[in-house]
Amino acid sequence: MKTWKIILLIIVAGGLLAAILGYVFVYNKAHRDYERARPDMALSASELYQAFAINEKEAEETFINKVLLIDGTLAGVEQPADDMVVLSFVFAEGFFGGEGVRCTMLPSQHDRALQLSAGDQVVVKGLCTGFTGTDVILEHASFESETIR
């Protein structure tokens, strides 16, 4: 085979490989595994809520898009939809009723979450996605192993 053909073959094969790798690892890369993610910071649910209630702008910069490990006393377990379970921590009363921190649990955590009730002490890890004006939102939430007291 002539040299130029070999070079062309290498270039085409290299391009193809780059395209496949780009498709798999960039375009089609997996979502972050929040259940296994290392928390960026740990604090109580009450401290988290107070941070947003006192200075929302500053709290947004500190906590949004961070994986947080929070602990506190549950106010309730809600199931707004068949495939959605939310743990709520309440620290104030407002127009919408109880205000605090709401954790939307990962599907793998639903069974365990549904066994809990108001008054239980829990430690939950999740991604902070924002503040609705009444509640701090944690999503993709999971229990840290051996952290339910």
Partner 1 sequence: MKNRAILVACLLACMHLSASSQVYLTRNGTIRFFSEAPLENIEALNRQVMSALNTETGEFVFRLPMRSFAFDKALMQEHFNDNFVESHKYPNATFQGVMEGIGDIDFDRPGEISVVVEGELTIKDVSKNIRESGTLHIHEDHLHASAEFIIAPEDYNIRIPTRYARNIAREIEVFVDVNLRPQ
In this structure, the chain runs to a length of 149
Q: Which of 45, 48, 52, 109 binds partner 1 (CB under 8 A)?
A: 52
Nearest CA-CA partner of 135 in 56, 41, 69, 40: 56
Task: By CB under 8 A, tell whether 115 contacts partner 1.
Answer: no
Nearer to partner 1, 1 or 81 (CB): 81
Nearest CA-CA partner of 49 in 77, 76, 89: 89
- The DSSP H or E segment spanning 90 is strand 84-94
Contact 85, 76 (CB under 8 A): no
Task: By CB under 8 A, tell whether 131 contacts partner 1.
Answer: yes
Task: By CB under 8 A, tell whether 81 contacts partner 1.
Answer: yes
In the complex, the residues that contact partner 1 under the rule CB under 8 A are 26-32, 52-57, 60-61, 64-65, 80-81, 84, 86, 94-97, 102, 104, 129-135, 137, 139
